[in-house]
């Protein structure tokens, strides 16, 4: 009963998701029935009434969903569905009201025009046109014989309206969209220029990772400055009874009109000024300029037409020795500016400067906050990485959040060999449509690359213990970064940071980007701090790996130790249980090893263990387990190998060990080994049982001449 309920519930969910499609198919079926049965659309037809009711409800449902003010609900499937419902509803109306001769048929031409205007994907428009053509033929068929000419006539008109839409309305929409995009780009460019004028941002564009956030922050600051300046100018104009109070600002070494409070219509049409005019001397010698009895020939530069200005007071806005702007006030009543009024204008000029400084400080604080947040997140990421691979991945993730790049490489430096080795490469730039192939090729050439300590930027950063290049400047394509054989030609920005741990250079972090000035000085300082954390993480990861190797490796032979062997054996056993595969276990020890120790000494005995371990490790596959089981005993696990194959492999090992010549103070000698083989699941299902069976086979070897291989299934 529960299964049936679940099945019915699933069917209801699928029917709800595909309800509109089902209704469309049913309506088209009704139209097709109408084509075959002319009485299907007669008044009072039950099929017709039911179809109209269901279809109307479905169309209302689709319209409500489309008009819902939630952009997240939009999907191409919903758009396609609504258009098909409107088209089908129109033809259903045409079929009910007389077929192709229906007075409602001109609605199809309107649909052909306006639906194509509203589509968001071309393939949707194609489906709509195809459905109109199909329904036109279907309704024409239902209207009776001899309608072919009328259908062809209608289809030609539909094609005409569709083509007209695409050629005329479509072109108009594209032009309007282009104009809107251009106005938006101009406005953003203007805001960026305003921000550069007020020194809210650097001359370079915002970083890719923060374009939206930077633009929003900058726009907010520019608007805040303009509001404050406009309020101040209006206040000063009203208080001093001025004709015009204007703020001029230096933009790329030229004066521009930023804001003005005036009742005059003679101001210049845009921010650009023809020349500094009477303010030229003030720019050379930044002192308050007061003019009286002015004529129309010597107007302030922000007027584009003659104005009866008689008095002018211009106060420079100065920071250090640099003139940032000029606050100008003028009158037309032959009323000179008094000393008190000049002081008020000077105070207003300082207030404008403070307004700009406050916004600049706010943006700086917000940027600093963002950068510190990114640095904190990066520190969290790096502190959580223990293994080297995890450290590389988290390092690249942390760096991308601070300074997006197209290629990054972490290399280690061997001071004694004077060589660098690339440990990890990250290449987000491979998805770049312009330089993706170049970045991909560079990444492949850099992986695991070893290069000498030469004269490239990597070598210079290592030698000087400082990031290179020293300035954020465009990098030439032929600049040597790693060595002369590897050039980062797509890169216009490169940064190499040394990874320092105390006084020791562990390696380097190299970043490259196709975009110019991608790593400004502030970003470099943050990355320098991050590189120190990366160095600590790299040292910790190396120590962790060394500790992990000591915990899982036998100190004498370098093979897997007993504890790690048991863990890996359990993993292979669990995998074999799930997949039904087999594996074999070989247990072996050195014959008369106690006699070797007693005769030649324990150091020679240790050398024998190392030699035998080297033979085992050299013959084993990567998937095999080779471990020291204890004392002179070794164990091998061979996945996907039966007992017969394991016995053949064991005999090869036995012969190779017997062929080894051991040296000692008492002369050369040789050793032999005995080996017992057990197979899963033939000789046992549990790991302990397999080890026991292999041990029994080994015991059999010991009591039957040694220097042989015995399979557990050969025992009685």
Confidence band for 205, pLDDT divided at 50, 70 and 90: very low
Determine what percent of the chain is predicted with pLDDT higher than 90. 32
Give the tens place of pLDDT for each residue, 608-650: 999 999 999 999 998 999 999 988 999 999 999 999 999 999 9
Encoded tokens for 237: 């104009």
Encoded tokens for 382: 């790096």
Contact 268, 252 (CB under 8 A): no
Where is pLDDT greater, at 539 or 200?
Answer: 539
Confidence band for 84, pLDDT divided at 50, 70 and 90: confident
pLDDT at res. 241: 93
Does the pLDDT of residue 12 top 70, yes or no?
no
DSSP state of 40: G
Cβ neighbours of 574 (radius 10 Å): 11
Smallest CA-to-CA distance from 377 within 399, 410, 405 is with 399
Q: What's the Cα-to-Cα distance from 130 to each of 19, 137, 155, rounded to whole Å?
A: 21, 11, 11
19-36 and 122-142 are packed helices; what angle lies between their axes, rounded to 10 degrees?
30
Contact 662, 671 (CB under 8 A): yes
Encoded tokens for 63: 């319209």
Does the pLDDT of residue 690 top 90, yes or no?
yes
Smallest CA-to-CA distance from 413 within 472, 322, 319, 497 is with 497
DSSP state of 101: G
Cβ neighbours of 716 (radius 10 Å): 3
Smallest CA-to-CA distance from 344 within 232, 260, 268 is with 232
Contact 671, 698 (CB under 8 A): no
Mean pLDDT of 472-484: 82
Phi then psi dihedrals of residue 143, to 5 deg: -80, -10
Find the largest Cα–Cα distance for the chain: 129
Separation CA 38–CA 143 (nearest Å): 8
Cβ neighbours of 610 (radius 10 Å): 14
Q: Which of 63-67, 196-200, 559-563, 701-705 has the lowest mean pLDDT?
A: 196-200
Q: Which residue has the tokens 């954390």?
A: 533
Separation CA 420–CA 325 (nearest Å): 53
Encoded tokens for 606: 């240790």
Encoded tokens for 609: 């263990």
Dihedral sign, Cα of residue 620, residue 691, residue 572, residue 384: negative
Smallest CA-to-CA distance from 461 within 427, 500, 424 is with 500
Separation CA 94–CA 90 (nearest Å): 6
Confidence band for 343, pLDDT divided at 50, 70 and 90: very high
Encoded tokens for 73: 């609900």
Mean pLDDT of 238-259: 91
Separation CA 372–CA 350 (nearest Å): 32
Does the pLDDT of residue 375 top 80, yes or no?
no
pLDDT at res. 686: 93
Cross-strand partners of 452: 419
Encoded tokens for 60: 């209302």
Contact 495, 507 (CB under 8 A): no
Does the pLDDT of residue 1 top 50, yes or no?
no
The helix (run of H) or strand (run of E) holding residue 182 is helix 170-197
Q: Which of 72-81, 154-163, 671-680 has the lowest mean pLDDT?
A: 72-81
Classify burial at 268, counting beta carbons within 10 Å of its beta carbon; exposed 0-12, middle 13-18, buried 19 or more: middle
Does the pLDDT of residue 251 top 50, yes or no?
yes
pLDDT at res. 207: 45
Encoded tokens for 234: 């209006």
pTM of the model: 0.48
Does the pLDDT of residue 71 top 50, yes or no?
no
Q: Which of 65-79, 108-122, 230-244, 491-505 has the lowest mean pLDDT?
A: 65-79
Q: Which residue has the tokens 């247990």?
A: 587
pLDDT at res. 585: 96
Does the pLDDT of residue 298 top 70, yes or no?
yes
Separation CA 483–CA 507 (nearest Å): 15
| Beta strands 709-711; 673-680: pairing state | parallel
Encoded tokens for 519: 């790593």
Does the pLDDT of residue 337 top 90, yes or no?
yes
Separation CA 657–CA 507 (nearest Å): 42
Does the pLDDT of residue 680 top 80, yes or no?
yes
The helix (run of H) or strand (run of E) holding residue 450 is strand 450-452
Give the tens place of pLDDT for each residue, 530-542: 888 788 777 777 7
Does the pLDDT of residue 204 top 70, yes or no?
no
Contact 135, 93 (CB under 8 A): no
Determine what percent of the chain is predicted with pLDDT higher than 70. 84
Encoded tokens for 164: 């007209």
Smallest CA-to-CA distance from 224 within 250, 195, 260, 263 is with 195
Contact 379, 533 (CB under 8 A): yes
Cβ neighbours of 388 (radius 10 Å): 17
Classify burial at 297, counting beta carbons within 10 Å of its beta carbon; exposed 0-12, middle 13-18, buried 19 or more: exposed
- The conformational region for residue 199 under phi > 0 = left, psi -120 to 50 = alpha, else beta, is left
Confidence band for 356, pLDDT divided at 50, 70 and 90: confident
Does the pLDDT of residue 714 top 90, yes or no?
no
Residue 681, preceding peptide bond in cis (omega within 30° of 0): yes
Mean pLDDT of 209-221: 67
Q: Which residue has the tokens 């650009």?
A: 272
Helix, strand or coil for residue 405? coil
Separation CA 164–CA 363 (nearest Å): 51
Give the tens place of pLDDT for each residue, 430-452: 888 778 888 888 888 888 888 88
Does the pLDDT of residue 105 top 80, yes or no?
no
Mean pLDDT of 279-288: 91
Confidence band for 48, pLDDT divided at 50, 70 and 90: low
Contact 427, 443 (CB under 8 A): yes
Contact 441, 410 (CB under 8 A): no
Mean pLDDT of 29-57: 63
Alpha-helix residue ranges (DSSP H) falling in 465-561: 521-552
Cross-strand partners of 675: 588, 709
Confidence band for 177, pLDDT divided at 50, 70 and 90: confident
Alpha-helix residue ranges (DSSP H) falling in 2-75: 2-17, 19-36, 46-67
Cβ neighbours of 115 (radius 10 Å): 21
Contact 507, 531 (CB under 8 A): no
Mean pLDDT (the chain) is 82
3-class secondary structure per residue, 658-690: HCCCECCCCCCECCCEEEEEEEECCCCCCHHHH
Where is pLDDT greater, at 140 or 342?
Answer: 342
Contact 675, 701 (CB under 8 A): yes
Separation CA 54–CA 47 (nearest Å): 11
Confidence band for 39, pLDDT divided at 50, 70 and 90: low
């Amino acid at each position: 009963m529960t299964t049936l309920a679940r099945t019915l519930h699933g069917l209801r969910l699928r029917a709800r998701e595909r309800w509109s499609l089902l209704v469309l198919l049913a309506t088209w079926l009704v139209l097709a029935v109408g084509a075959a049965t002319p009485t299907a659309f007669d008044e009072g037809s039950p099929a017709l009434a039911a179809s109209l009711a269901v279809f109307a409800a479905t169309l209302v449902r689709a319209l409500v969903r489309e008009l819902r003010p939630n952009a997240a609900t939009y999907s191409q499937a919903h758009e396609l569905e609504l258009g098909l419902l409107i088209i089908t509803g129109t033809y259903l109306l045409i079929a009910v009201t007389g077929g192709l001769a229906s007075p409602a048929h001109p609605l199809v031409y309107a649909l052909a025009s306006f639906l194509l205007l509203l589509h968001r994907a071309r393939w949707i428009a194609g489906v709509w046109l195809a459905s109109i053509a199909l329904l036109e033929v279907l309704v024409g068929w239902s209207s009776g014989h001899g309608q072919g000419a009328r259908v062809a006539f209608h289809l030609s008109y539909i094609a005409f309206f569709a083509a007209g839409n695409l050629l005329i309305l479509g072109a108009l929409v594209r032009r309007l969209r282009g104009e809107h995009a251009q106005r938006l780009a101009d406005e953003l460019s203007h805001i960026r220029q305003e921000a550069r004028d007020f020194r809210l941002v650097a001359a370079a564009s915002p970083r890719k990772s923060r374009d939206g956030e930077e633009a929003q922050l900058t726009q907010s600051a520019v608007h805040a400055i303009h509001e404050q300046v406009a309020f101040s100018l209006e206040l000063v104009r009203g208080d001093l009874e001025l004709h015009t109070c204007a703020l001029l600002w230096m933009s790329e070494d030229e004066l521009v009109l930023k804001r003005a409070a005036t009742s005059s219509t003679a101001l210049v049409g845009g921010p650009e000024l023809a020349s500094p005019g009477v303010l030229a001397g003030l720019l050379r010698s930044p002192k308050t300029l007061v003019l009286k009895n002015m004529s129309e020939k010597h107007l302030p530069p922000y007027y584009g037409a003659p104005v009866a200005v008689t008095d002018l007071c211009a106060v420079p806005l100065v920071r250090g020795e640099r003139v940032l702007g000029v606050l100008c006030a003028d009158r037309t009543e032959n009323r000179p500016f008094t000393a008190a009024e000049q002081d008020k204008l000077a105070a207003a000029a300082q207030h404008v400067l403070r307004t700009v400084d406050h916004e600049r400080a706010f943006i700086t604080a917000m940027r600093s906050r963002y950068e510190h947040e990114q640095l904190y997140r990066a520190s969290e990421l790096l502190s959580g990485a223990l293994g080297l691979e995890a450290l590389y991945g988290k390092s690249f993730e942390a760096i991308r959040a601070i300074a997006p790049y197209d290629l990054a490489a972490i290399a280690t430096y061997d001071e004694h060999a004077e060589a660098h080795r690339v440990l990890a490469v990250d290449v987000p730039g491979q998805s770049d449509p312009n330089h993706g192939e170049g970045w991909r090729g560079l990444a492949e050439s850099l992986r695991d690359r070893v290069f000498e300590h030469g004269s490239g930027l990597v070598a210079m950063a290592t030698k000087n213990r400082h990031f290179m290049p020293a300035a954020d400047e465009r990098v030439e394509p032929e600049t040597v970064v790693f060595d002369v054989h590897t050039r980062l030609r797509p890169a216009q920005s490169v940064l190499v940071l040394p990874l320092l741990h105390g006084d020791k250079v562990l390696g380097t972090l190299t970043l490259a980007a196709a975009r110019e000035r991608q790593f400004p000085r502030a970003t470099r300082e943050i990355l320098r701090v991050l590189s120190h954390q990366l160095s600590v993480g790299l040292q910790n990861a190396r120590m962790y790996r060394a500790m992990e190797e000591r915990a899982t490796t036998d100190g004498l032979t370098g093979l897997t130790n007993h504890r790690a062997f048991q863990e890996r054996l359990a993993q292979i056993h669990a995998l074999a249980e799930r997949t039904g595969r087999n594996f074999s276990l070989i247990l072996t020890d050195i014959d008369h090893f106690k006699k070797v120790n007693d005769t030649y000494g324990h150091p020679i005995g240790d050398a024998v263990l190392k030699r035998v371990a080297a033979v085992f490790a050299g013959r084993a596959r990567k998937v095999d387990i080779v471990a020291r089981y204890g004392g002179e005993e070794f164990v091998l696990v061979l996945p996907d190998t039966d007992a017969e194959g394991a016995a053949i492999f064991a005999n090869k090992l036995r012969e190779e060990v017997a062929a080894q010549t051991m040296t000692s103070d008492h002369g050369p000698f040789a050793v032999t080994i005995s080996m017992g083989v057990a197979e899963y699941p033939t000789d046992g299902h549990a790991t302990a049982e397999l080890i026991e069976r292999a041990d029994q086979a080994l015991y059999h070897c010991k009591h039957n001449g040694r220097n042989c291989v015995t399979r557990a299934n050969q025992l009685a």
